[in-house]
Structures are given as structure tokens and as C-alpha cells.
Structure 1
């Protein structure tokens, strides 16, 4: 089991701040593919990966990052300076 967290407009599109999921995905990209296949709201949230960032166990990561042993994956838009 792993926690998947959604922030900002990703959370708004999916309608959840977080969920616990069981996955057979071995990379973040595979996890995204699984999520997109669930329902249209996930497809909408993950339709443009260039507009998303991902953190694996609270470390900024890439979509090809392995998920072996990972407890948490978070998706969020790029941070803007301020």
C-alpha cells in the first residue's frame, strides 16, 4: 500500500487530497497510467504531465523513478517564485 497525495488543481480535478492505493506499478509513470485508467477525473488531472511535478517519499523526482519500497507519492503543479 502507498499513499498518493494530490495538491492544488490536481486535487480539485480528482476531488481527493489523498488516497491509499495498492498498485503493481514499478515506476511513477506506470502509476500515472493506472490512475488515468480509473475514471475520467484522473484522466483530466494527468492529461498533461509537463504541467505536473512529482515527489517520491517527499523528494522531488522524475516520472521514471522506481516505486520499490516507496510509501508516498505526491503530485502537484510546478511551484512559482514569489
Structure 2
């Protein structure tokens, strides 16, 4: 089981701030994104619709190839800009 957090506009669009989720074979951050996209609707738009979604595993910036293991905390957030 992993703990997934959704930040900023993702939280609003998905109407959830966090959830506990079984990996069910998802071994990398990219595979987890694909799994979330199968929920359809906004989930598919966000995780496979060509939007840039950043991820972190255990509060460290991560790439799609980053392994995800039981007990990890995964965060997803949109890119941020500042000025």
C-alpha cells in the first residue's frame, strides 16, 4: 500500500487530496500514472493526456522510471512558476 498526495490544481480537478492505494503490479512512477489514468475522465486527461505532471517519491523529485514500493509516499503536482 502507498500513500498518494495530489497538490494544487490536481487536487481540485480530481476532487481528492490523498488516498491509500495498492500498487497492483505498478513498480515505477510511470506505471502508477498509467494505472491512475485507467480511472477515466479527469484522471486520464491528467495522467495520459499530454499534461506535464511532476512526481515525487518519499519527498524526492522523481522520474517515470523511479521505483515505487509498498510503504512509499507519492506526490503529484503541476509545474510551478514564479517571478
**Superposed pair shares fold, TM > 0.5:** yes
Which region of structure 1 is more displaced relative to structure 2, 6-15 or 68-77? 68-77
- Name the CA distance, whole Å, in 1 between partners of 2:69 and 2:4: 15
Question: Are 2:3 and 2:71, in contact at CA under 8 Å, matched by a contact in 1?
Answer: no
SS of residue matched to 2:11? helix
Matched residue, 2:19: 19
How far off is 1:20 after superposition? Answer: 0.5
What is the TM-score when the length of structure 1 is the normalising length?
Answer: 0.87
Q: Mark the runs of 5 or more structure 2 residues left unpaired by the alignment.
A: none
What is the Cα-based RMSD across aligned positions, in Å? 1.5
After TM superposition, which residue ranges in structure 1, 4 or more long, deviate above 2 angstroms? Answer: none
Size of the alignment, in residue pairs?
81
Q: Is the 8 A contact 2:29 2:64 kept in 1?
A: yes
